[in-house]
Amino acid sequence: MKTPTLRPRPSGPAESGTEFVPIAEVARNEAPPAGIDPDKSLSWLRRALPIMRAHKGIFITSLTLSFIGLILQVQIPNLLNHAISNSIEKHTVGLSYYVWWIVGLGVVGGILGYIARLFLFETAYDIEYDLRNIIYEHLTKMSFSFYDRVQSGQLISRANSDIRSVQMYMTFAPLILVQCSMAVVAFGFMLSIDVPLAFVAMATMPFVYWTGVRMRKSMFPVSWIIQARLADVATIVDENVNGVRVVKSFAAEEQQLRSLAGAAERVQWGYIKDADLRARFTPMVQNLPQLGLALVLLFGGYMVIHGSLGIGAILAFNSYLLMLQAPFMMLGMLIMMGQRAAASADRIYEILDEQPTVTDSADAVDLVDCRGDVRFRHVDFAYDAEAEELVLADFDLHVPPGQTVAIVGRTGSGKSTVARLLTRFYDVKHGSVELDGHDVRDLTLASLRANVGVVLDEPFLFSVSVHDNIAYGKPSATRQEIVAAAVAAGADEFITQLADGYDTVVGERGYTLSGGQRQRIAIARTLLVNPPVLVLDDATSAIDVQVEQTIHAGLRGTMEGRTTLIIAHRLSTISLADRVVLLDQHKVVADGTHAELLSSTPLYAEVLAQAAEFEAEEEGDR
């Protein structure tokens, strides 16, 4: 069988192209039909209304059917009043006439209720789908500086529990309000029976409204605290799951349990406070309408005794008041849901209102037919915009097309920062980074990153097959292309020995593989894309020297005609380079071949000696 080979970059100028064609897979899911209103001065609900309006057809149908069902339900006490008066007391109408009417209304109301609930839940899940996609799409656009300071547990919490709180209120609150509108319809029927008694029956409603307002104001801050503290718990759990090896290696399980218990206790306090407020206000909201029953019995009974009101009328009033119990019981739940949704929406908007700092400029152009000419001009940079001390200061470097340059320096000298600025993970504070004469800020991010391949020192693998991990940047790649990339990265030998070869599914973050194996798969993933510019950020640091030599043999072929920046510590890795650049004091202090720097720059020899000593210690630990 013929061994597949990875094609090197052409050394001459590329054929002229007309446009940039991305090789990444295009999303096949439907984009949300609407987004969140960007106007921060609006209430949280008004900002979310565009999403609701996008599904208004099915949602309004659901509410309309619910309302019609309630109208039919409200008819039943009125029919009961007429049945008692006309069939039982006066015997003018057959009782079966009213019985069939009541049965018919019940059946039709049940059918309408089924359809209404079905449409309502469909709307709820559509809104949840839209919100989740809006948040995730926004997160994909956020810059690295955002992720440097935001905890992943906070993001997970806001993309799950907070979304559910908002979705529940946006869909079920209107339904509850429709059901509460039964009070208006019922009041109309009560007025048609007896006006004074109708006002007596509804006398408690102003007190219900006042109690609800008090409950809402009291519960909002507690709802905010609960959601924030739930996110803290999610953060601790996320860090412990992802960092389980560190936790166990330091036997710190008890320490983490105490940390989680403390966070859980803070959540518990919030829930207890929430329960206390609900216990204080909800019984009043739910039971004040029942006082209306006593008033109807008192005044209605007096009127029946004195012959000014029929028995059927007082039974109808009682039925109407009993119908009002469920909506007013749900009114307390509605207030609670509203406060929790408001707190959750504010937390979601905190993310959506934050804009990425690294974006395509309005006149950004695609980088086509990249030659690989890299230049840093008087670059100043610090990760914290307010920091006085710079990571790179007046940094100058030129790498002609096709040249391989090794960047060497002490820890913290800014070597990895060079790679991050070239791919625009961050933007420079002063100066410019140029590729083929274009300031990278004038290029589209998609075309820039398609032409600059980076292998990081901490490789990240997804919980999918080895094949899919290598093909991540080029999903359309054939198995032959993937094997060729793996061979060039020195990964094919160990991959073929796995249980299912290239179809073996790696564990989360690739922890079922060794550090060196993960790095080799990460190298293969980048080589498959075949970028004109290649950055190896200490990419073989976890690989044995013997294996590294095999990888270097493959890389020498693939690096031919390709601009390559190697951020290195090992002498064996530096040997791949045509030229070596030494960083110190945040800038380039020496530039030349390995032999030239070794003979002319004592600092270079010192840096290599420290790196060799550190590497020897690591080998000893292994």
Taking only the tens place, the pLDDT of each residue in 350-392 is 889 988 888 888 888 988 888 889 999 999 998 887 777 889 9
Q: What is the mean pLDDT of residues 542-571?
A: 72
Q: Which sequence spans correspond to the domains of the chain? A: 44-218+282-352, 376-621
Torsion of CA 463, 464, 467, 468, to 10 degrees: -100
Listed in sequence order, the residues at least 6 apart from 209 whose beta carbon sits closer than 8 Å to its beta carbon are none
Q: How many CB atoms lie within 10 A of CB 29?
A: 7
Q: What is the reported pLDDT for 11? A: 46
- Count of all residues that appear for the chain in the document: 622
Distances from the Cα of 33 to the Cα of 53, 171, 352, angstroms? 10, 17, 17
Going by CATH, does the domain composed of 44-218+282-352 fall within 3.40.1030.10? no
Whether 376-621 and 44-218+282-352 are alike in CATH topology: the answer is: no
Distances from the Cα of 609 to the Cα of 509, 579, 602, 614, 617, angstroms? 33, 19, 11, 9, 12
Q: Tell me the C-alpha distance between 358 and 145, whole Å.
A: 9
Residues 564, 405 contacting (CB under 8 angstroms): yes
Q: What is the reported pLDDT for 4? A: 47
Distances from the Cα of 174 to the Cα of 60, 166, 336, 404, 441, angstroms? 10, 13, 14, 64, 47
Token digits of residue 412: 């913290």
Q: Residue 365 gets which letter from DSSP?
A: B
**3.40.50.720, 3.40.50.300, 3.60.21.10, 3.40.430.10: which CATH number matches 376-621?**
3.40.50.300
Listed in sequence order, the residues at least 6 apart from 410 whose beta carbon sits closer than 8 Å to its beta carbon are 583, 584, 607, 610
Q: Tell me the C-alpha distance between 612 and 614, whole Å.
A: 5
Q: Which H or E run contains 558? A: helix 545-558
Q: What is the reported pLDDT for 23? A: 61
Burial (Cβ within 10 Å: 0-12, 13-18, ≥19) of residue 101? middle
Q: Tell me the C-alpha distance between 57 and 97, whole Å.
A: 37
Taking only the tens place, the pLDDT of each residue in 420-460 is 999 999 999 899 999 999 999 999 988 898 899 888 877 88
E-state strands within 476-531: none
132: helix, strand or coil? helix
Q: Tell me the C-alpha distance between 337 and 176, whole Å.
A: 11
- Separation of first and last alpha carbons in the chain: 36
Q: What is the reported pLDDT for 242? A: 65
* Ramachandran angles phi, psi of 389, nearest 5°: -85, 130
Q: Tell me the C-alpha distance between 563 and 371, whole Å.
A: 8
Q: Is the pLDDT of residue 322 over 90?
A: no
Query: CA 29: distance to chain centroid?
Result: 16
Q: Tell me the C-alpha distance between 157 and 140, whole Å.
A: 17
Q: Tell me the C-alpha distance between 554 and 534, whole Å.
A: 14
Torsion of CA 269, 275, 277, 283, to 10 degrees: -170
Q: Tell me the C-alpha distance between 425 and 431, whole Å.
A: 16
Q: Residue 475 gets which letter from DSSP?
A: T
Residues 567, 594 contacting (CB under 8 angstroms): no
* Ramachandran angles phi, psi of 317, nearest 5°: -60, -45
Q: What is the mean pLDDT of residues 218-245?
A: 73
H runs (alpha helix) in 324-458: 325-352, 415-422, 445-451
Taking only the tens place, the pLDDT of each residue in 593-602 is 888 888 888 8
Residues 300, 309 contacting (CB under 8 angstroms): yes
Q: What is the reported pLDDT for 12? A: 45
* 379 bridge partner residues: 395
Q: What is the reported pLDDT for 329? A: 62
Q: Tell me the C-alpha distance between 310 and 555, whole Å.
A: 98
Q: What is the reported pLDDT for 19? A: 65
Q: What is the reported pLDDT for 327? A: 67
User: What percent of the chain lies above the pLDDT cut of 90?
Assistant: 11
Instruction: Please give the order of strands across the beta sheet that includes 579-584.
Output: 452-455, 533-537, 563-567, 404-409, 579-584, 587-592
- The per-residue pLDDT of the chain, averaged, comes to 80
Q: Tell me the C-alpha distance between 547 and 493, whole Å.
A: 11
Residues 580, 586 contacting (CB under 8 angstroms): no
Token digits of residue 259: 């940390």
State the Rg of the chain over Cα. Answer: 35
